[in-house]
Amino acid sequence: MEIKDKMEALVKELNQHSYNYYVLAMPTIADYEFDKKLEELDKLEKEHPEFADPNSPTLKVGGDITKNFTTVPHRWPMLSLGNTYNEQDLRDFDDRIRKAIGDQFEYVCELKFDGLSISLTYENSKLIRAVTRGDGSKGDDVTTNIKTIRNIPHKLRNETIPPLFEIRGEIFMHRAAFDRLNKEREELGEIPYANPRNFAAGTVKMQDSKEVSKRPLDCFLYSLNTDKNYFKTHWESLQSLKEWGFNVCEHTKLSNSMDEVLSFIQYWEEARFKLSYEIDGIVIKVNSYAQQQELGFTAKSPRWAISYKYKAQEVETILEKVTYQVGRTGAVTPVANLKPVQLAGTTVKRATLHNANEIERLDLHEGDSVFVEKGGEIIPKIINVNLDKRKAGAVKVNYPTLCPECHTGLIRKEGEVAFYCPNDEACPPQIVGKIQHFISRKAMNIDGLGDETIETFYQRGLVAHISDLYTLHEKSDQLKTLERFGERSIENMLKGIEQSKQMPFEKVLFGLGIRYVGETVARKLAVGTKDIDKLTSASLEELVAIDEIGQRIAESIIEYFGTPEHLQQINLLKAYGLQFEVIEKEITLESDKLTGKTFVISGVFENYSREELKEMIENNGGKILSGISAKLNYLVAGDNMGPSKLEKANKLNVPLISVDDLLELLK
């Protein structure tokens, strides 16, 4: 290939990977590979500046901006860090610093958290804005979402705090939360996130802060920007940030030499797997602010700091066989069963293969010797195959065409990667999984019943459909013959089942396990249609008109209710007395102080949720309107209200009131 073509191809490829990483939060290349390609392009651009693209990724620090948020310029640009991968690179960095500022300096070593960076601005001790890195000079205003993170203070108490400052840190998700939430996504038939970083990034960019608040994010803060110098060193500023109430990581070290830095790096190489969150390296910063200033910046990164990236830990082992798991929604997931091997402190026996494409990509053959990686990710992954060790005549792994459990032909829907078993009424793991989902805590929350019991009941022929739970009381003789199932527990279980008939419609709807209908969607559907008959007869257009229901969800609902077996189940459940309509709460007015008055609530509020304010207004006779018009009496304005709303309200002379004003009206 011509040099020019090669450079063009690299620019195109890297830009696409950047877009996937920063904007879609779905990476398509390992960091290390990306850096190598970027380096290659950088080298070619230096050798052939005449072919360099003015939009080359070598000139950019981050990704793009996401469309749906307000774009805000950074007062201090959000730069990136140079990466190093070995001791020599670090010694070179150390030499460069010594040449520039002499031998009298210290380093601060910090963990490099694997999340997404955030810039928080505080004015007069109040959090006024939170912005993503974006392209480094401007990012997305995600304040409302960030305010849902518990350990980011909205207001600081300390008096000695500078009147205006910016603090930077990393938003991330703990492994345990990632595991739990990702499992839930998989159960709903949604595509799981590849790692906690992507989950955190995807969450911060969500449009609905209420959804964000349900996903536990965390944040470590690691740098301070102010107009004046309040501190002499970075270390001092970190100590103060802690005192001001910010979450600063405790695993931070002040070092006098590169040798000390290297031992910090060495220690965390192993110890990082014991942390509850993921790190992908170590950040090394020159401590003194004066020295940082002397060293300055290159176009994209500071000369006074660098990161050391850990290589993913890798080991070679034998692929014994590939097995296939059928989930509640019928998705068939391949799993690699490996010859047990030690990796990063644990014994690895299995690795995820995600889907059929992954088997193809790896061109897996039975008995292959494979490289397994446990990098950032929790579940080990097969990176590639050692072809030198492939035995002659090895059989290619072929993704099955029939369901491994019920032998029905598998199908793949357009635009999806997973294969499904369509036999949802008779495929054993799907039946058991669906009933287990129905009784689960977030759905019908049936006391006295557990996953194992459902499995046993199914095997004994006691249940084959959700509705069979409600005839169990007629089978107490059979129940009594079951091992470990005494009279007491039978009684408890039957009581739990009976009580579940009182669960609200939205829980029943969620419990049915319709693809893509999670808790929130179920609630929106219940509120939007009020009863099951309207829902089952709703057209696609009617469904997508409901808040948060998109084409994909609507299609799935129509498909579900188009199946006679599903309708039969619903009729049985109805007959047993389950709730299939929304029971409107009777509002008893606390007062009529707001009768005849209309309100719009906008922005975020320190002590009240929007829902609470809405309730307060309605309980006193007021009415909530959906948009600003000349008829509107009051706009209850919180922080970070959209500029267009504000403009409209001003134009139409709608009075803006605070929460305190509202409380005053109620007095």
Q: Which residues are catalytic?
A: 112
CB of 78 to ligand IVH, least distance (A): 7
- Chain centroid to Cα 71, Å, comes to 22
Decide whether 22 or 399 has the Cβ nearer to ligand IVH: 22
How many residues make contact with ligand IVH (CB under 6 A)?
A: 15
CB of 163 to ligand IVH, least distance (A): 23
Decide whether 79 or 261 has the Cβ nearer to ligand IVH: 79
Interaction pattern, residues 32-61, with ligand IVH; x per rule: CB under 6 A = ------------------------------
- Chain centroid to Cα 633, Å, comes to 39
80 labeled binding residue: yes
Task: State which of positions 129-148 bind ligand IVH (CB under 6 A).
Answer: 133
Interaction pattern, residues 57-96, with ligand IVH; x per rule: CB under 6 A = ----------------------xxx---------------
- Chain centroid to Cα 498, Å, comes to 36
CB of 294 to ligand IVH, least distance (A): 16
- Return left, alpha or beta for 92; rule: phi > 0 is left, psi -120 to 50 is alpha, else beta: alpha
CB of 314 to ligand IVH, least distance (A): 22
Contacts by 341-347, CB closer than 8 A, 24 or more apart:
341/315, 341/316, 341/317, 341/372, 342/315, 343/313, 343/314, 343/315, 343/372, 343/374, 343/380, 344/270, 344/273, 344/313, 344/374, 345/270, 345/273, 345/274, 346/273, 346/374
316 labeled binding residue: no
Interaction pattern, residues 601-640, with ligand IVH; x per rule: CB under 6 A = ----------------------------------------
With tokens 């950032």, the residue in question is 376
31 labeled binding residue: yes
Separation between Cα atoms, residue 34 and residue 313, nearest integer Å: 18
35 labeled binding residue: yes
249 labeled binding residue: no
Decide whether 200 or 570 has the Cβ nearer to ligand IVH: 200
Decide whether 169 or 334 has the Cβ nearer to ligand IVH: 169
The tokens describing 221, both together, are: 């803060």
Residue 439 found at the interface with ligand IVH (CB under 6 A)? no
487 labeled binding residue: no
DSSP string, 434-471: HHHHHHSTTTT--TT--HHHHHHHHHTTS-SSGGGGGG
419 labeled binding residue: no
Cα-based distances in Å from 178 to 173, 210, 276, 379, 623: 6, 18, 11, 12, 40
CB of 280 to ligand IVH, least distance (A): 8
Separation between Cα atoms, residue 164 and residue 154, nearest integer Å: 14
3-class state of residue 188 by DSSP:
coil
Q: What residue is closest to ligand IVH based on CB? A: 117
Decide whether 119 or 355 has the Cβ nearer to ligand IVH: 119
CB of 267 to ligand IVH, least distance (A): 16
CB of 170 to ligand IVH, least distance (A): 5
DSSP class of residue 76 equals S
Decide whether 309 or 648 has the Cβ nearer to ligand IVH: 309
Do 65 and 135 form a contact (C-beta atoms < 8 A)?
A: yes
309 labeled binding residue: yes
Residue 21 found at the interface with ligand IVH (CB under 6 A)? no
- Return left, alpha or beta for 549; rule: phi > 0 is left, psi -120 to 50 is alpha, else beta: beta
CB of 307 to ligand IVH, least distance (A): 5
Decide whether 52 or 224 has the Cβ nearer to ligand IVH: 224
Exposure class string for 248-278: b at 16+ Cβ within 10 A, else e: bbebbbebeebeebbebbeebbeebbeeebb
Only segment of 299-307, 492-500, 534-542, 580-588 that touches ligand IVH (CB under 6 A): 299-307
Decide whether 42 or 555 has the Cβ nearer to ligand IVH: 42
Decide whether 140 or 170 has the Cβ nearer to ligand IVH: 170
33 labeled binding residue: yes
Separation between Cα atoms, residue 434 and residue 466, nearest integer Å: 8
Interaction pattern, residues 195-224, with ligand IVH; x per rule: CB under 6 A = ---------------------------xx-
Strand (E) or helix (H) holding 102: none
3-class state of residue 383 by DSSP:
strand
Do 501 and 576 form a contact (C-beta atoms < 8 A)?
A: yes
Taken in order 353, 356, 358, 364, the sign of the CA dihedral is positive
Q: Mention every residue, 6+ apart, whose C-beta is less than 8 A from residue 364.
A: 319, 322, 336, 353, 370, 382, 385, 396, 397
Among 25, 131, 212, 283, binds ligand IVH (CB under 6 A): 283
Q: What is the 3-state secondary structure (H, E, C) of 593-628?
A: CCCCCEEEEECECCCCCHHHHHHHHHHCCCEECCCC
219 labeled binding residue: no
Interaction pattern, residues 220-239, with ligand IVH; x per rule: CB under 6 A = --xx----------------
- Return left, alpha or beta for 193; rule: phi > 0 is left, psi -120 to 50 is alpha, else beta: beta
Nearest alpha-carbon partner for 520 in 534, 510, 528:
510
Decide whether 22 or 561 has the Cβ nearer to ligand IVH: 22
172 labeled binding residue: no
The tokens describing 138, both together, are: 């401007």
Task: State which of positions 301-330 bind ligand IVH (CB under 6 A).
Answer: 302, 305, 307
Decide whether 80 or 619 has the Cβ nearer to ligand IVH: 80
Strand (E) or helix (H) holding 255: strand 253-255
Task: State which of positions 153-182 bind ligand IVH (CB under 6 A).
Answer: 170
Task: State which of positions 95-124 bind ligand IVH (CB under 6 A).
Answer: 110, 112-113, 117
The tokens describing 503, both together, are: 């669960």
CB of 77 to ligand IVH, least distance (A): 9
Nearest alpha-carbon partner for 546 in 531, 532, 526, 528:
528
Q: In what order do the strands lie in the sheet with 116-123?
A: 126-132, 116-123, 164-172, 218-225
170 labeled binding residue: yes
51 labeled binding residue: no
The tokens describing 442, both together, are: 């977030």
Phi, psi of 200 (to 5 degrees): -65, -45
CB of 156 to ligand IVH, least distance (A): 21
CB of 151 to ligand IVH, least distance (A): 16
Residues annotated within the binding site for Zn(2+) are 403, 406, 421, 427
Q: Which residues are annotated as a binding site?
A: 31-35, 80-81, 110, 133, 170, 285, 309, 403, 406, 421, 427
Residues near ligand IVH, by CB under 6 A: 79-81, 110, 112-113, 117, 133, 170, 222-223, 283, 302, 305, 307
Q: Which residues are annotated as a binding site for NAD(+)?
A: 31-35, 80-81, 110, 133, 170, 285, 309
